[in-house]
């Protein structure tokens, strides 16, 4: 056992601490890479910015050398510039160092641009300064410093030949090229040319070279003119100021024009068919007809199809069972409602059935479920998306892709068979960022067909491991099933559903407990700490894990949209589920209503990669994949729908320029997801669960880990795979809905699928 864990063990956990702590070291490792990457990226950005500013100042100083009115001043200025040569070398070398270090510890996609583009752009100019400008400066300094008599110095004017030396392009221009190089590197850092594209690199590089040549030419000219003069007189200040203002004004105007042009050009089309998009077929062995088809589908084209020989199928035909009496029926009415939280705070919510969260939908495995959606008064429209449930495409509830948004006064019926057992949730997929934040969501639980055998499995396992079984009740107690939906309400803060104070419940000792943690937030990775008992993570994203290990002193970090089921047997003392590491938010479970909320101990993060035990999967990392894709998550400065902003990109683009991954039914698809950006992105693929094959090069060694909402942190590389067995047009997006609303969304598209629906300002459909 790890010594640190021992010392951290609170008294009530004494026995707990002797169980296995498999995730301890991996926890550190797991966080370490993520922090390291973020730190590197930020340091590099700061250095580039710093270098831009200071090399620009040095460049201005260099070109002003010849405005020195006398020998002494020129001498002083030359000395100062020599200092600047040193001063600029430090950040430039550091930028090279960062690239080098990143090359040591990360995959090429993370550092290629830094090592091969940023570093040369700052290191070559600094070399230019040292090889060309410094010797000249040195000479100039000597030339102007030898006349020692101070009285003489003040009076002495310089002759034109000295001024000509001070104006030499070899002395002045390297400093200016340094500034241009740093600026170009900063541009590449803010607009990464990744995935690699010649044009994205060539255009800025050509501009850089042209500007450098232009400066050289201009300074060569100036130097020549001075050489022709008998007597050189320093131009008046107003003249210099005028030139400077002119140059700045031209630059500012050019930038303003480009930004304005970019903004105007980024407006989304008024109507855009979701089946159109930039098709990408991946590398692989799939012999589909697809590979011979045109690779660029017209964006904005209506009903563009994707496989000419394949029979075309509309998403509207891919429904659940349309006939047959449903085993379960629900009606969800979308309506505005002011709801009171447990603390008394009021929330102006958008609700299903007037409550937040909406009615919990519980059903049994295999049941035919019918849900009628009624929109009472949500003017923006609503839909129902079954997050994590792999329903037939037409039932998926994405406005503009699988249906039209349901407008006030309208109804819509969904029918599907609940095939997966587990914890899911539903939410509107129309203006989803606003809708989900305001409350249009609820839990969806699919219970197993057979009633749960409630013998406390965990206690048995404990006994296996030679632990004293904690009050195992021979009687089979009904499992206590607790749904914990965490959400942050605008103007009211964090809550579990509508309860923003500690929820208290009494549970008889020996009762098996299942807590279903669902994070419905937007861009909040929620932290859950269970204090007072050891526990197991029984399921992730609605899929049961194989032989989960017993955990203690471990907290769970749940990404937005993700779910964890945790199970434990109620001990004879209180147990507290703390949300967000707080003592005043969570679920306090006691055998008898007595006891105080415990202090939250220090814990390590849970890591699913090596948790539980291996089990057979339909494929694994050694399988032959028929299609392989790379999905790069990143940031860039750019334009989206009329705004100029920092964008969250998928393969360098925002919707609708993001790729559309093309598959055909039966493909075994592997995707490598790489996060080069500065924030985490919970990637959510509709209609499928992906099997996590590896994380940062380490293969998954524990339980099969199937995910539908995978938290990809900065510096992370995940290899995931799935079988293309659910034809349709499927959203694949970041579940930080703020990011999705800003264009971080793309599609998985099956060959031969069409949709009659479209998105855009001339339609009612705005899925994000």
Q: Which spans of this chain sit near ligand C2O (rule: CB under 6 A)?
A: 385, 387, 427, 429, 561, 684, 686, 731, 733, 735
Nearest CA to 548 out of 704, 654, 719 is that of 704
Q: Which does 681 bind (CB under 5 to 8 A by kind): Cu ion, ligand C2O, none?
A: Cu ion
Taking a C-beta distance cutoff of 8 angstroms, is the pair 491, 576 a contact?
no
How many other β-carbons are positioned within 10 Å of the β-carbon of residue 214?
A: 12
Q: Cis omega (within 30 of 0) on the bond before 428?
A: no
Residues 124-153 that bind Cu ion (CB under 5 A): none
How many other β-carbons are positioned within 10 Å of the β-carbon of residue 521?
A: 22
Q: Which is nearer to ligand C2O, 429 or 695 (CB)?
A: 429
- Alpha carbon distance 11, 131 (integer Å): 67
Least distance between ligand C2O and beta carbon 680 (Å): 16
Taking a C-beta distance cutoff of 8 angstroms, is the pair 401, 274 a contact?
yes
Least distance between ligand C2O and beta carbon 583 (Å): 30
Least distance between ligand C2O and beta carbon 408 (Å): 23
Least distance between Cu ion and beta carbon 190 (Å): 18
Q: Which is nearer to ligand C2O, 54 or 386 (CB)?
A: 386
Q: Which is nearer to Cu ion, 482 or 741 (CB)?
A: 741
Least distance between Cu ion and beta carbon 483 (Å): 25
Q: Which does 733 bind (CB under 5 to 8 A by kind): ligand C2O, Cu ion, none?
A: ligand C2O
Residue 738, token pair as written in the block: 């703020």
Residue 631, token pair as written in the block: 């999905």
Taking a C-beta distance cutoff of 8 angstroms, is the pair 136, 66 a contact?
no
Least distance between ligand C2O and beta carbon 418 (Å): 17
Cα 234 to Cα 88, 130, 137: the distances in Å are 28, 28, 20
Least distance between Cu ion and beta carbon 673 (Å): 12
Segment holding 188, helix H or strand E: helix 169-190
- Alpha carbon distance 745, 685 (integer Å): 10
Taking a C-beta distance cutoff of 8 angstroms, is the pair 737, 437 a contact?
yes
Q: Which residue is nearest to ligand C2O (CB)?
A: 387
Residues 726-745 that bind Cu ion (CB under 5 A): 734, 736, 739
Q: Which does 739 bind (CB under 5 to 8 A by kind): Cu ion, ligand C2O, none?
A: Cu ion
Binding segment for Cu ion (CB under 5 A), chosen from 355-363, 441-449, 680-688, 714-722, is 680-688
What DSSP string describes 495-541? Answer: EETTB-S-EEEE--TT-EEEEEEEE--SS--EEEEEESS-BEEEEET
Tell me if 681 contacts Cu ion by CB under 5 A.
Answer: yes
Q: Which does 429 bind (CB under 5 to 8 A by kind): Cu ion, ligand C2O, none?
A: ligand C2O
How many other β-carbons are positioned within 10 Å of the β-carbon of residue 537?
A: 22
Q: Which is nearer to ligand C2O, 389 or 724 (CB)?
A: 389
Tell me if 684 contacts Cu ion by CB under 5 A.
Answer: no
Least distance between ligand C2O and beta carbon 647 (Å): 19
Tell me if 710 contacts Cu ion by CB under 5 A.
Answer: no
- Alpha carbon distance 700, 694 (integer Å): 5
Residue 139, token pair as written in the block: 């000479």
Specify burial of residue 238 (Cβ count, 10 A radius: 0-12, 13-18, 19+).
exposed
Least distance between Cu ion and beta carbon 648 (Å): 5
Strand partners, 382: 406
Apex 333 CA angle, 331 and 334, nearest 5: 145
Q: Which is nearer to ligand C2O, 114 or 385 (CB)?
A: 385
Residues 547-606 that bind Cu ion (CB under 5 A): none
Q: Which is nearer to Cu ion, 21 or 681 (CB)?
A: 681
Nearest CA to 276 out of 737, 634, 754, 618 is that of 754
Q: Which is nearer to ligand C2O, 144 or 758 (CB)?
A: 758
Apex 199 CA angle, 114 and 635, nearest 5: 50
Nearest CA to 306 out of 270, 280, 271, 268 is that of 280
Q: Which does 561 bind (CB under 5 to 8 A by kind): ligand C2O, Cu ion, none?
A: ligand C2O
Q: Which does 387 bind (CB under 5 to 8 A by kind): ligand C2O, Cu ion, none?
A: ligand C2O
Specify burial of residue 580 (Cβ count, 10 A radius: 0-12, 13-18, 19+).
middle
Least distance between ligand C2O and beta carbon 494 (Å): 20
The residue assigned the tokens 């009021």 is 346
Q: Which does 735 bind (CB under 5 to 8 A by kind): ligand C2O, Cu ion, none?
A: ligand C2O
Least distance between ligand C2O and beta carbon 394 (Å): 15
Binding segment for Cu ion (CB under 5 A), chosen from 140-148, 554-562, 681-689, 702-710, is 681-689
Least distance between ligand C2O and beta carbon 518 (Å): 11
Q: Which is nearer to Cu ion, 50 or 646 (CB)?
A: 646
Q: Which is nearer to ligand C2O, 27 or 562 (CB)?
A: 562
Q: Which does 427 bind (CB under 5 to 8 A by kind): ligand C2O, Cu ion, none?
A: ligand C2O
Q: Which is nearer to Cu ion, 276 or 736 (CB)?
A: 736
Least distance between ligand C2O and beta carbon 397 (Å): 9
Q: Which is nearer to ligand C2O, 165 or 563 (CB)?
A: 563
Q: Which does 734 bind (CB under 5 to 8 A by kind): ligand C2O, Cu ion, none?
A: Cu ion
Least distance between ligand C2O and beta carbon 733 (Å): 6
Least distance between ligand C2O and beta carbon 412 (Å): 17
Least distance between ligand C2O and beta carbon 400 (Å): 12
Q: Which is nearer to ligand C2O, 516 or 733 (CB)?
A: 733
For helices 169-190 and 23-63, angle between their N-to-C axes, nearest 10 degrees: 150
What binding mask, one character per residue, do residues 625-664 give for Cu ion by CB under 5 A, x or -? ----------------------------------------
How many other β-carbons are positioned within 10 Å of the β-carbon of residue 123?
A: 18
Q: Cis omega (within 30 of 0) on the bond before 492?
A: no
- Alpha carbon distance 541, 709 (integer Å): 7
Residue 689, token pair as written in the block: 């669960």
Q: Which does 136 bind (CB under 5 to 8 A by kind): Cu ion, ligand C2O, none?
A: none
* Strands, E assignment, 580-707: 586-590, 604-605, 627-640, 643-650, 659-663, 668-675, 681-685, 690-695, 698-699, 706-707
Q: Which is nearer to ligand C2O, 387 or 739 (CB)?
A: 387
Q: Which is nearer to Cu ion, 513 or 631 (CB)?
A: 631
Q: Which is nearer to Cu ion, 223 or 734 (CB)?
A: 734
Residue 189, token pair as written in the block: 């850092």
Length of the chain: 768
Q: Which does 109 bind (CB under 5 to 8 A by kind): ligand C2O, Cu ion, none?
A: none
Nearest CA to 651 out of 189, 38, 109 is that of 109
- Alpha carbon distance 760, 358 (integer Å): 28
Q: Which does 736 bind (CB under 5 to 8 A by kind): Cu ion, ligand C2O, none?
A: Cu ion
Q: Which is nearer to ligand C2O, 33 or 277 (CB)?
A: 277
- Alpha carbon distance 334, 681 (integer Å): 29
The residue assigned the tokens 């990404």 is 559
Nearest CA to 553 out of 487, 608, 602 is that of 602
Least distance between ligand C2O and beta carbon 307 (Å): 25
Number of residues that bind Cu ion (CB under 5 A): 4
Q: Which is nearer to Cu ion, 143 or 731 (CB)?
A: 731
Residues 100-129 that bind Cu ion (CB under 5 A): none
Apex 668 CA angle, 667 and 669, nearest 5: 100
Residues that bind Cu ion (CB under 5 A): 681, 734, 736, 739
């Amino acid at each position: 056992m790890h010594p640190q864990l021992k010392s951290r063990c609170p008294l009530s956990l004494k026995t707990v601490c002797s169980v296995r702590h498999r995730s301890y070291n991996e926890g550190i490792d797991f966080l370490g890479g993520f922090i390291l990457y973020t730190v590197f990226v930020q340091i590099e950005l700061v250095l580039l910015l710093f270098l831009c500013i200071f090399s620009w100042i040095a460049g201005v100083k260099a070109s002003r050398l010849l405005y020195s009115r006398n020998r002494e001043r020129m001498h002083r200025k030359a000395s100062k510039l020599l200092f600047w040569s040193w001063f600029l070398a430090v950040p430039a070398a550091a930028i090279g160092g960062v690239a080098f270090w990143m090359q040591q510890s990360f995959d090429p996609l993370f550092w290629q641009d830094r090592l091969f583009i940023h570093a040369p752009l700052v290191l070559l100019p600094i070399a230019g300064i040292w090889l060309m400008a410094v010797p000249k400066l040195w000479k100039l300094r000597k030339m102007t410093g030898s006349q020692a008599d101070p009285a003489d110095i003040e009076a002495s004017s310089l002759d034109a030949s000295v001024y000509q030396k001070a104006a030499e392009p070899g002395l002045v221009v390297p400093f200016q090229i340094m500034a241009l190089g740093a600026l170009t590197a900063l541009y590449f850092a803010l607009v990464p040319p990744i995935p690699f594209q010649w044009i994205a690199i060539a255009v800025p590089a050509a501009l850089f070279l042209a500007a450098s040549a232009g400066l050289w030419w201009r300074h060569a000219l100036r130097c020549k003119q001075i050489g022709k003069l008998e007597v050189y007189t320093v131009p008046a200040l107003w003249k210099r100021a005028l030139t400077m203002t002119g140059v700045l004004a031209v630059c500012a105007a050019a930038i303003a024009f480009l930004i304005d042009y970019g903004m105007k050009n980024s407006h989304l089309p008024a109507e855009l068919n979701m089946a159109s998009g930039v098709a990408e077929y991946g590398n692989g062995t799939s012999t589909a007809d697809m590979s011979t088809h045109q690779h660029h589908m017209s964006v904005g084209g209506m009903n563009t199809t994707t496989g000419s020989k394949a029979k075309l199928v509309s998403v509207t035909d891919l429904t659940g069972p349309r006939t047959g009496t449903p085993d379960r029926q629900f009606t969800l009415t979308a309506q505005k409602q002011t709801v009171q939280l447990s603390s008394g705070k009021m929330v102006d919510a958008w609700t299903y059935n007037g409550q937040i969260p909406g009615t919990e939908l519980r059903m049994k495995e295999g049941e035919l479920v019918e849900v009628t959606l009624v929109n009472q008064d949500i003017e923006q429209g609503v839909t129902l998306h079954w997050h994590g449930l792999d329903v037939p495409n037409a039932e998926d509830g994405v406005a503009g892709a699988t249906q039209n948004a349901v407008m006030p006064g309208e109804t819509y019926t969904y029918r599907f068979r609940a095939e997966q057992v587990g914890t899911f949730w539903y939410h509107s997929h129309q203006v989803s960022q606003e809708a989900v934040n305001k409350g249009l969501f609820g839990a969806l639980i699919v219970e197993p067909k057979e009633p749960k055998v409630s013998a406390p499995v965990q206690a048995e396992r404990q006994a296996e491991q030679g632990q004293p079984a904690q009050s195992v009740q021979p009687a089979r107690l009904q499992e206590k099933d607790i749904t914990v939906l965490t959400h942050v309400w605008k103007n009211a803060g964090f809550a579990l559903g509508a309860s923003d104070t500690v929820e208290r419940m009494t549970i008889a000792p020996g009762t098996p407990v299942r807590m279903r943690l669902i994070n419905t937030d937007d861009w909040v990775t929620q932290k859950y700490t269970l204090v007072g008992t050891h526990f197991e993570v029984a399921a992730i994203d609605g899929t049961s894990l194989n032989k989960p290990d017993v955990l203690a002193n471990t907290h769970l970090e749940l990404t937005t949209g993700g779910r964890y089921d945790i199970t434990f047997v109620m001990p004879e003392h209180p147990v507290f589920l703390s949300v967000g590491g707080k003592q005043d938010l969570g679920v306090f479970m006691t055998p008898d209503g007595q006891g105080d909320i415990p202090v939250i101990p220090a814990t390590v993060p849970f890591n699913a990669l090596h948790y539980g035990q291996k089990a057979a999967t339909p494929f694994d990392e050694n399988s032959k994949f028929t299609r392989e894709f790379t999905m790069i998550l990143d940031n860039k400065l750019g334009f989206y729908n009329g705004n100029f902003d920092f964008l969250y990109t998928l393969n360098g683009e925002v919707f609708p320029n993001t790729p559309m991954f093309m598959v055909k039914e039966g493909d075994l698809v592997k995707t490598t997801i790489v996060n080069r950006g500065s924030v985490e992105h919970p990637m959510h693929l509709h209609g499928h669960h992906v099997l996590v094959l590896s994380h940062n090069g380490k293969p998954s060694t524990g339980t099969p880990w199937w995910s539908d909402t995978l938290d990809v942190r900065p510096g992370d590389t995940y290899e995931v795979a799935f079988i293309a067995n659910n034809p349709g047009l499927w959203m694949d997006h970041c579940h930080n809905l703020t990011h999705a609303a800003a264009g971080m969304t793309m599609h998985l598209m099956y060959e031969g699928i069409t949709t009659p629906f479209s998105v855009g300002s001339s339609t009612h459909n705005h899925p994000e």
